[in-house]
Amino acid sequence: MTARVDLDDLAVATIVVDPDGRVAAANATVAELVGSTAEHLVGRPLDELLRPEGATDDGVEGEDEGRAMCLRCGDGRELAVRALSRSRAGAGGACTTVVVLRPLAKGGAEPVGPSGIEVISTVSHELRSPLTSVKGYTSLLLSRWDRLSDDQKKTMLEQVHHDADRVTRLVSELLDISRLETGHLQLRFQTVALPSIASSVVAKLTFEYPELECTLAFAEGFPPVLADPDKVEQVLTNLVENAAKYASLKGMTVSGTVAGNSVSVAVADTGEGIPRTDLPHIFTKFYRRDQGRPSGSGLGLWISRGLVEAHGGRLDADSVEGRGSVFSFTLPLDTDAGGAAS
């Protein structure tokens, strides 16, 4: 006698995937983990729901012996799960796959974070490229000093200077992570002129991206804000650099608007945009859509949001696939400044 098993009778989270890689059925345990209903999950591509931990959206294919994966929940959280899958070829060789998920985090409720070794490897990689360049240029300067023209020396020293800035920025980001997590971030509030910070950020990044074309749109007499200028510069640098790296060097705009007691700064690009399914995740620590090139640590947006929130503001993203993205943040107006800003 063959017993028919209802998926909902299974205490383990189970998903049946059709040959197209879409969810054919999911049981109540999965729905509970994701914070949705089984009916809502049916028909969704599996790789929208599950991604290999620390990797891009490759999906789950073939036979798999308990891979560490991230299960995307409705509210943007990601749960660490171990996914065990078995594929069975049906008529015509098409494969149906059954995926069983076991939450790794206690209670299945903790967000996924990379292991210590992954963090070290990401950060080391990010540090290595500017340091390699510093080493290369200084070696060249030392060994060929008499044969290099003043212009060549100047260009190399500018590059070394710029690379040193990158290393400093990365180290200060790492320090900010622990300060943000422990609530020990200290802001040096001052009267700040956003148009001049924006123009200096664009000028510095033009050195790294000579083809960068970015329009600054701040009205004459744009009011000053009360903020820590170093942190505002860090946030803007990250947003403009991301737009240059992931979107397009042309057609970028940094604009400011005033609304009530705060100002809003928007960095708009004309790139490919960010898929709707990825958008809720880009502010997650160490999350990267594009593994490999262009390089990055997956920290920038998480830190930027933390820095803006520490000022009492908000940082959000909006994106239309094929059209581009807009990252905007708010900061409080400096109502006592009377127009003077540094």
Q: Which CB atom, from 222 or from 287, has the smaller least distance to ligand ADP?
A: 287
Could you tell me the smallest distance in angstroms from the CB atom of residue 329 to ligand ADP? 13
| Least distance to ligand ADP, CB of residue 140, Å | 29
328 binds ligand ADP (CB under 6 A): no
- Assign residue 233 a region (left: φ > 0; alpha: ψ between -120 and 50; beta: otherwise): alpha
Region near ligand ADP per CB under 6 A, out of 1-9, 58-66, 75-83, 289-297: 289-297
Which of 26, 33, 41, 282 contacts ligand ADP by CB under 6 A? 282
**Nearer to ligand ADP (CB atom), residue 224 or residue 298:** 298
**Pick from 108, 229, 271, 306: which binds ligand ADP (CB under 6 A)?**
271
The answer to whether residue 321 forms part of the interface with ligand ADP (CB under 6 A) is no
Q: Report if residue 269 touches ligand ADP, rule: CB under 6 A.
A: yes
Minimum distance from CB of 110 to ligand ADP (Å)?
20
Q: Is 325 in the site for ligand ADP (CB under 6 A)?
A: yes
- Angle (CA) 32-57-72 rounded to 5° is 20
- Smallest gap from residue 323 Cβ to ligand ADP (A): 11
Q: Residue 96: CB partners within 8 Å, gap ≥ 6?
A: 16, 17, 18, 19, 24, 87, 88, 90
Give me the residues that bind ligand ADP (CB under 6 A), please.
238, 242-243, 246-247, 269, 271, 274, 282, 287-290, 296-302, 325
